[in-house]
Chains A and B, each alone.
Chain A
Amino acid sequence: MANLNINSKKDNTYDAIVIGSGMSGGWAAKELCEKGLKTLVLERGREVKHVQDYPTTNKMPWEFEHRGAIPEEIKKENPVVSRCYAFREDAQHFFVKDQEHPYVQEKPFDWIRGYQTGGKSLLWARQVQRWSDFDFEGPARDGFAVDWPIRYQDIAPWYSHVEKFIGVSGNKDGRDNLPDGEFLPPFELTAGELYFKDFLRKNYPEREIIVARCAHITGNKEFYAKQGRALCQNRTLCQRGCPFGGYFSSNSSTLPWAANTGNLTMQHHAVVDSIIYDEAKGKATGVRVIDANTNETTEYYAKVIFVNASALNTNLILLNSTSSRFPQGLGNDSGVLGKYVAFHNYRAGISGEYDGLKEYTTEGRRPTSGYFPRFRNVYKQETDFLRGYAAGFSAHRSMITDYSGIGEELEQAITREEYGPWRVGSHMMGETIPKEESQVSLDPNKKDAWGIPQLKVSMDYDANDEAMIKDYLEQMTEMFEAAGFTNIRTRDDKRAPGLDIHEMGGARMGKDPETSVLNKWNQIHSCPNVYVTDGACMTSTSTQNPSLTYMAFAARAVDHAVKNMG
Chain B
Amino acid sequence: MDRRSAMKQLALLTGGVVLIPACDFSEESILQAHQNLKITASQKELLTQVINTIFPGKVLKPSEELQLPDFVLVMCNDCLDKEQQETFVSGLQQWDAFSKEQFGKKFSQMNSTEAEDCLRTALTMDGKEEEKKSAIGFVNTTKRFALQGYLNSEYFMTEIKPYELVPARFYGSKKIENA
A-side residues, CB < 8 A to B, are 58, 60-67, 69-73, 187-191, 193-194, 233-235, 237, 358-366, 403, 405-408, 410-412, 414-415, 419
Contacts and interface: CB of A to CB of B under 8 A. Distances in A.
12 contacts: A72-B81, A188-B170, A235-B165, A362-B170, A365-B170, A366-B170, A407-B56, A408-B56, A410-B147, A411-B60, A414-B60, A414-B151
Given A187-B170, A366-B170, 13 more contacts: A60-B157, A63-B23, A64-B24, A65-B24, A69-B79, A70-B79, A362-B171, A362-B174, A363-B174, A411-B56, A412-B59, A414-B160, A415-B59
Contacts of B54: 406-407, 410
B165 A67 contact: no
Contacts of B163: 60-61
B78 A71 contact: yes
B102 interface: no
B170 A62 contact: no
Contacts of A414: 60, 150-151, 156, 160
Nearest to B59: A411
Contacts of B156: 414
A67 B148 contact: yes
Nearest to A407: B116
A364 B179 CA distance: 19
Given A73-B78, A363-B171, A406-B119, A415 B160 contact: yes
Contacts of B161: 415
A191 B172 contact: yes
B29 interface: yes
B104 interface: no
Given A61-B163, A65-B24, A188 B171 contact: yes
B168 A233 contact: yes
Interface in B9-29: 23-26, 29
A235 B167 contact: yes
Contact of B170 (A193, A363, A411): A363
Interface string B46-63: 000000011111111000
A234 B171 CA distance: 11
Contacts, number: 134
Nearest to B58: A408
Given A65-B74, A188-B171, A366-B170, A72 B150 contact: no
B43 interface: no
B8 interface: no
B166 interface: yes
Nearest to B124: A404
A237 B163 CA distance: 13
A259 B66 CA distance: 47
Nearest to B166: A233
A336 B160 CA distance: 61
Interface string B149-162: 11111101100110
Which 4 residue pairs of A and B lie closest in terms of their CB atoms, listed nearest first?
A: A188-B172, A191-B173, A364-B170, A190-B172
How many chain B residues sit at the interface, stated as a range, is: 35 or more
B128 interface: no
A361 B165 contact: no
Nearest to B71: A67
A66 B166 contact: no
Given A406-B119, A406-B120, A406-B123, A364 B169 contact: yes
B6 interface: no
A360 B175 contact: yes
Nearest to A395: B172
B99 to A, nearest CB: 15
Contacts of B116: 406-407
Contacts of A237: 165
B123 A234 contact: no
A233 B79 CA distance: 32
A364 B173 CA distance: 11
Contacts of A234: 166-170
Nearest to A410: B54
B43 to A, nearest CB: 20
A476 to B, nearest CB: 21
Contact of A194 (B55, B149, B173): B173
Given A60-B154, A188-B172, A407-B56, A365 B167 contact: yes
A205 to B, nearest CB: 23
B69 to A, nearest CB: 16
B143 interface: yes
Given A234-B167, A408-B56, A194 B172 contact: yes
Contacts of B125: none
B75 interface: yes
Nearest to B74: A65
A415 B74 contact: no
Contacts of B120: 405-407
Contacts of B29: 65
Contacts of B153: 62
Contacts of A407: 53-54, 56, 58, 116, 120
Contact of B165 (A60, A415, A419): A60
Contacts of A365: 167, 170
Given A64-B24, A72-B80, A410 B170 contact: no
A66 B150 contact: no
Nearest to A417: B161
Q: Which of A360, A362, A406 has the most CB of B within 10 A?
A: A406
A363 B169 CA distance: 8
B176 interface: yes
A58 B80 CA distance: 27
Nearest to B123: A406
Contact of B55 (A69, A187, A411): A411
Q: Which of A188, A364, A407, A419 has the most CB of B within 10 A?
A: A407
A66 B163 CA distance: 17
Nearest to B113: A407
Contacts of A72: 78-81
A186 to B, nearest CB: 10
A368 to B, nearest CB: 9
A63 B26 CA distance: 11
Contacts of B81: 72
A71 B59 contact: no
A191 B154 CA distance: 32
Nearest to A419: B176
A361 B175 CA distance: 7
A231 to B, nearest CB: 8
A188 B23 contact: no
